[in-house]
Chains A and B, each alone.
Chain A
Amino acid sequence: MMSGSATPSAADGPESPAGVRILLVDDHEGVRNATAMLLRTEGFEVLCAASLSEAREALRTGSPIDLVIADYHLQAGETGIEVIAMARSVAGEHLGAVLVSGDTSSTPHDVQVTGRLRLAGKPIRGRELLAIVTELLPVRKAT
């Protein structure tokens, strides 16, 4: 698990939290705030959004992101899959993504879990989420 006191590595390896920006999209205010606090405690910079349109606006006005975490079931029929697709259209197809679902029974079976897209169930242990985030962060090459 990534530590809040981690420092950037000069060697190949996961990005350190410092300077890493995560887009967090969840329409439940409590979950959004709690997850943001957890990530910020670890040193990540977190952009929060409650919907697809808010996420789009955050990406339009903010700095580039390194990762997106999205709840599957959003309001008004929107899904985290749409959020991830939108985020990747802006940040690039290699953007790491975590799709979080509180209801595994209705999570579409056609979601392709890849090295760059992970599924996580709610509630997820903080350390598990942080481990997934760490694995998905882009590798910074030594210069």
Chain B
Amino acid sequence: MKRRTHRPAEPAARAPRAPPAGNASATPSGLVYGRLLQASRLATIGEMAAGVGHELNQPLTAIANYAQACDRLLSRPAPSMDDIRTAVREIADQAVRAGDILRRVRGLTQSRPIRRERADLNTVVEAIRDLILADARVHRARVQFDLEARLPQVSIDTAQIQHAILNLVRNALEAPAEPGAAARELTLRTALIPDGYAEIAVLDNGPGVLPQALEQMFHPFFSTKSAGAGLGLAISSTLVRAHGGTLTYRPNTPAGACFAIRIRGESG
């Protein structure tokens, strides 16, 4: 995910990164489009590597310490079998937890045909909650989940919508902070919208988007991030539109940005 069009350090820095003539995001060929999505997914996960690594290190550390404790206990003349049993069970649980983390990452990165299924956005978010928290942790950001209990089911490719959500989260985490600004705070909020739409919004307390950038921020290759390709928002928007939905921006209150994905719910 590449940074959205936050206030640039130097206005001129954005000029070379303006989108090419025409609308490159409209209808790329299927093959190129698929490869672009795959590359974007891998890039997103790659950028989250620090957080994923930290998350994976937790159960590994627990396993190592429990095993070491078992070793010490077993060296005693009359070891407590209850303590050893507790440690062994914890080792098994933590190993399963490590496997869950890897499974979630693999689910996001593997290339496969689009597969739509009925789902609710809360479940979609919950499945990547740990990854989001891990990424936020290395950015020293706070994250809140404000999930509406009653959401309509939507017909989606879960991995694609998760990809879009993670892009928005990374966007919010990487938005530049003004000197002395408050710690970054994110909220992932789901809501039922009139006319039967379900919404997942990513809100932050960052600097928001400059008015002059609003028109181009969903165009590919438009970014203020020096090392960024400027594809995150464009790809997220394309993914959501392929589901008949919308990705829109609105200022957060009292400050910051709010990117919202809306997808029509299925009746019945």
Contact = CB atoms under 8 A, between A and B. Distances in A.
- A associates with B: yes
Interface of A: 4, 28, 30-31, 33-35, 37-38, 41-42, 73, 75-77, 79, 102-103, 105-106, 122-127, 129
Given A73-B138, A106-B138, A38 B68 contact: yes
Contacts of B58: 28, 30-31, 102, 122
A122 B62 CA distance: 10
Q: Which of B57, B58, B63, B141 has the most CB of A within 10 A?
A: B58
B59 A30 contact: yes
Main DSSP-derived SS at the A contact region: helix
20 contacts: A30-B59, A31-B58, A33-B62, A34-B62, A34-B64, A34-B66, A35-B61, A38-B65, A38-B66, A38-B69, A73-B138, A77-B140, A77-B141, A102-B57, A103-B50, A103-B51, A103-B57, A103-B138, A106-B138, A129-B65
B40 interface: no
Contacts of B54: 73, 102-103, 122
Contacts of A102: 53-54, 57-58, 61
Contacts of A37: 65-66, 69, 83, 86-87
A126 B53 contact: no
Contact of A41 (B51, B61, B62, B73): B73
Nearest to B136: A77
Contact of B97 (A30, A35, A77): A30
B138 A124 contact: no
B266 interface: no
Contacts of B66: 34, 37-38
A123 B62 CA distance: 8
Contacts of A127: 68
Q: Which of A31, A35, A127 has the most CB of B within 10 A?
A: A31
Given A31-B62, A38-B69, 8 more contacts: A4-B76, A28-B61, A37-B65, A73-B138, A77-B184, A102-B54, A103-B57, A124-B64
Contacts of B119: none
Contacts of B104: none
Nearest to A127: B68
